Amino acid sequence: MKFILVHRIPGRARLRCGTGFDARAAEVLADGLDALDGVEGVRVNPRTGSVLLLYAEESALERAVTFLDGASFSREKRLLVEKRREQTRPSLFPFFRYLVIRPLLPVAVNMVTACTQALPFLRRCLSSLSHGRLDVDALDGAAIAVSLLRRDFGTVGLLTLLLSFGDALERYTQKKSLENLASHLALRVDRVWVKRDGAESLIPFSDLRESDLVIVRAGSAVPVDGVVEEGTASVNESSMTGEPLGVMRGPGASVYAGTVVEAGEVCVRPTSVGKDTRMQQIVRFVENSEQMKAGIQGRFEKLADKAVPFTFGLAALVWLFTRSLTRAASVLLVDYSCALRLATPLAILAAMDEGVRRKVMVKGGRYLEALSTVDTVVFDKTGTLTQSRPEVAFVIPAKGYGENEVLRLSACLEEHFPHPVARAVVHGAEKRNLRHEEEHTDVEYVVAHGIASQWRGKRVLLGSRHYISQDEGVDVLLMEAKIEELSRKGYSLLYLAVDGALAGIIAMEDPLRPESASLVERLRGMGVNRVIMLTGDDARTASAVAGRLGIAEFRAQVLPEDKARVVRELKAEGRTVLMLGDGINDSPALSSADVGVTLRDGADLAREVADVVLMGGSLRELVTALELGRGAMTRIHDNFMLTMALNTVFLFGGLTGLLRPGLSAVLHNMTTLGVSLNAMRPVLPKGE
């Protein structure tokens, strides 16, 4: 297994292999890397074949690369990892050993044990100082060193016990948070059935090649993105689209990893395997979310870093004025940064995980923060506020014609064309059970204008007013009053003319989503003071739709490039802009906004560009996304205030001598644990 270095900055590197590997192999890698000198943190993602390393020195990175090049996954090694994995979970046994067993042991044994346990922390302290860093490791090491100088081995034992437990808890909680988030998205496949040279065989997923035919039977998940080569099946795509009903997929149709075959059997030719599938691209959003930290997380981390030198300076002053190493050690053990560094990313990960469970996928912490401050929402009309599915609303016949006759003849012409308006006319006739015979001659389609044909020896025209009236010279003034009324109400009009005379009008509408109006009202109740609708419709139609939705501000006849310009102008005014659109032409605006949001059935490019995807397909999830962002930021600020207040009290206790080093360490670690658990609580009430 060959790993390649794909990203590197001082103290941090990411390596990736060509294929993914299973969870046990990941444990082998993580266990082996974590044991290397100088390696301070390891995160292994088996689904994407990625290894993230945090290291103190360049030689540690070299050792890690050497280890990865020679990594093997033998059965014995995996069994050893299974055992070690159990041991890495935070355990209360060390506390029992310290409180019950230690007092029974000879003093010399306790001294040696305390010094041995202190060595890793002292090494980390020296490593930080040698690199010019006054960080948490330096602070912890200094506190332990002071206790050793005082020959207070009981305190040394307690400090190392608490710090070790805190490290284990941090690794465990971060790992579980990431695993919980990824588990809602990732597809777990160890082995797949393939057809090679006409024979079926069961192979490891890691051995799958794009030249294989993957066999997927009823009840099984599709393991790859691909095209159906053989067979027909009903495929449930709810994991990808949120649509609960199965869709039929036959030869030539595309299927995606993570979807499930409900009935039937298909052979799939892979187009994307492993890390390249759509589902794994989603998982990589989780992996890369650490590179999209919320600004608040970065600010708190910087604040935490600045607090460390302050703590050192204060401890030095305490020793200078009191000459008490005990008080100095107590000050060193009160550290603001631990809780801030741990609780903030945990709160973000927990909120992202909660979002996935509520069908809202947020692609990084920075977008959660932006969601919390949104004051302007910009909607594209078609496909977001509306259902993007035209329907026949009214049929208004001219004198001498009936409604059914107008609609039947129009459907007879439109059935030859696949565009949405044509389908709507044909569907409207079907709803009225109108049968239309093929009585016309060849149909001539005039692009962007309409249709011309011969029917019963008469010339028939169907299309826009411009085509019927201006291009073909048909008089429409006799129905002008009705035309004006329907136009004011926002209907699109289709005109039918027979032998140079107007035969009738079909009023078309793009139905609003049932939740659109209530969403606009809810947004205003949440403090979003500007809601803007963008549309390519004319101003009259746009005004009618906006009025039905309660939107006071709209832009009509907007081109795709104009949408992005509108968003940039709003941002230039100092507003935090959320843009919601679902089409390819919305992508520039989605990229320009502070938060770009799209729906599950949006265009591929829109889903790729968007920062938030509403996986349930309902606009109500936009409210969920906003509440999620606000709740996460409120939780982070609450944790910040709690951390600062409690640790300040502990610091005062150390300065005055009310708290000894051991008690300071206990209280400090309890604070870190408390704010971490608070960070991981659900942000939204269960009923929402």
Q: Catalytic amino acids?
A: 380
Q: Which of 111, 199, 177 is nearest to 148 (CA)?
A: 111
Residues 437/455, Cβ–Cβ less than 8 Å: no
- Token duo for residue 49: 């074949």
Which strands make up the sheet holding 577-580, listed edge to edge? 360-362, 612-614, 595-599, 577-580, 376-380, 530-534, 553-555
User: 288 burial class (0-12, 13-18, 19+ CB within 10 angstroms)?
Assistant: middle
Instruction: Note the helical H segments in 373-439.
Output: 403-414, 420-431
Q: What CA–CA distance (Å, rounded) separates 133 from 412?
A: 79
Burial code (b: 16+ CB inside 10 Å, e: under 16) for 529-567 equals ebbbbbbbbeeebbbbbbeebebeebbbebebeebbebb
N- to C-terminal Cα distance for the chain?
46
Q: Do you know the residue count of the chain?
A: 688
For residue 663, the number of C-alpha atoms closer than 13 Å in the C-beta half-sphere is: 11
DSSP class of residue 546 equals H
d(CA 224, CA 258): 8
Cβ count near 132 (within 10 Å): 6
Q: How far apart are CA 544 and CA 485, in angstroms?
A: 11
Say which residues have a Cβ less than 8 Å from residue 595's Cβ, sequence separation at least 6: 367, 370, 371, 374, 576, 577, 578, 579, 611, 612
Q: Among candidates 97, 109, 112, which has minimal Cα distance to 158?
A: 97
Dig out the tokens for 45 from the structure.
Answer: 């993602």
Q: Which DSSP category does 440 fall into? A: B
